[in-house]
Amino acid sequence: MLRSLTNLGDTPTRPHLLAALRRLYALNLALLGLPGLLIGVPLGLFTPAWSSLPALVGLCVAGLLCAVLALALAQQKMKAAIPGTPEGRDLAMSAAIQAASAPAAPLLMACTTLKEPLSLLALLTLTLLSGLVGWLLLGLWAGKAGLEEQRARAVAG
């Protein structure tokens, strides 16, 4: 799974960089989501149900803020990326790792609200949407940091 990361080189093409970013994103999402599930599910099962609507709304708003902040910080990191440079490649990889935390935060919050179907549904929807936005941003970042095929051949040759 990590072979695409180690064989990327200093000047990766856009398709190769996109494949590597997607693998890195998925790996980090799994690394963040698994402990969240292991902690959140027992917590959600063995704690009493919340009956306070403002607390549940606050939890959903906190999940939204965490996801938006993680994606905004990852996007901010990519502003300094220069296409076709090792620094641009490294910034894209760092941003992919950071973006994986966007769906992980609401997922943990969703696991703790297993006894509240409405907030569970809202937080799982937020988890899926923030994961999709992060996945789509990877394509933009690969386009910004990677080289086009023709330019890569000129640099290599």
> Is pLDDT of 149 > 90?
no
The pLDDT, as a whole number, for residue 30 is 92
> Is pLDDT of 152 > 60?
no
Tokens at 12, concatenated: 């990766």
The chain-wide mean pLDDT, for the chain, equals 84
Q: How confident is the model at residue 26 (pLDDT cuts 50, 70, 90)?
A: very high
The pLDDT, as a whole number, for residue 155 is 55
> Is pLDDT of 50 > 80?
no
pLDDT tens per residue, range 119-134:
889 999 999 999 999 9
pLDDT tens per residue, range 58-111:
888 999 999 999 999 999 998 888 877 788 888 898 999 999 999 998 998 888
- % of residues, the chain, pLDDT over 90: 38
The pLDDT, as a whole number, for residue 80 is 83
Domain locations in the chain as residue ranges: 12-39+54-156
Give exposure, 124-152, as e/b (b: 16+ Cβ within 10 Å).
Answer: bebbeebbeebbebbeebbebbbbeeeeb
Burial class (CB in 10 A: 0-12, 13-18, 19+), 41: middle
The pLDDT, as a whole number, for residue 39 is 86
> Is pLDDT of 153 > 60?
no
Sign of CA dihedral 15, 19, 22, 24: negative
The pLDDT, as a whole number, for residue 68 is 96
